[in-house]
């Protein structure tokens, strides 16, 4: 059986760069602040909704997030493992054009590479 630790102990271990996967976190009779929930989630811990505490007065209004929220079952940690980080240098005029057109550079590169790969597969069959 995995040893039980408190939320504060788990946060201390994460801050020190230690893994907490071998522990069970005790969420009984405790409320975890939203920022700490995010830190725990980054460490691979799912905090029960009943243990999450936030104060509406501490939340700053943002019109981009004014719509209805829908819960999704996605694991951002596993999604990050399949991503590749890429750094590219852009000329100033290209960067301005991308920003002006609100182009999502990650999606553009993803689509370009996908199309290039498919084209290479077709060409190499000859």
Give pLDDT tens digits for 39-63. 898 888 888 888 888 777 777 777 7
57, 77, 105 - which closes a domain: 57
Per-residue confidence (pLDDT) for residue 26, from 0 to 100: 87
How far is the C-alpha of 69 from the C-alpha of 97, rounded, in Å? 31
How far is the C-alpha of 37 from the C-alpha of 51, rounded, in Å? 9
Query: Would you say residue 18 lies in a domain?
Result: yes
6 and 52 both lie in a single domain: yes
Calculate mean pLDDT across residues 59-72: 73
53 and 96 both lie in a single domain: no
- What proportion of the chain, given as a percentage, has pLDDT over 90? 17
Per-residue confidence (pLDDT) for residue 92, from 0 to 100: 94
Instruction: Map tokens 């230690």 to a residue.
Output: 18
Provide the residue range defining the domain that includes 3.
1-57
Domain count, the chain: 2
pLDDT, one tens digit per residue, over 75-104 is: 766 666 667 778 889 999 999 999 999 988
Per-residue confidence (pLDDT) for residue 76, from 0 to 100: 66
Tell me the pTM: 0.45
Q: Which residues neighbour 103 within 8 Å (Cβ) at sequence distance 6 or greater?
A: 97
């Amino acid at each position: 059986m995995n040893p039980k630790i408190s939320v504060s102990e788990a946060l201390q271990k994460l801050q020190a760069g230690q893994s907490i996967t071998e522990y069970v976190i005790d969420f009984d009779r405790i409320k975890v602040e939203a920022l700490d929930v995010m830190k725990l989630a980054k460490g691979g811990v799912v905090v029960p909704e009943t243990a999450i505490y936030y104060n509406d007065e501490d939340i700053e209004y943002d019109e981009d997030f004014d719509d209805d929220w829908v819960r999704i079952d996605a694991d951002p940690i596993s999604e990050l493992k399949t991503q590749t980080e890429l750094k590219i240098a852009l000329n100033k005029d290209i960067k301005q054009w991308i920003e002006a057109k609100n182009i999502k550079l990650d999606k553009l590169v993803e689509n370009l590479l996908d199309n290039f790969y498919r084209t290479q597969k077709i060409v190499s069959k000859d």
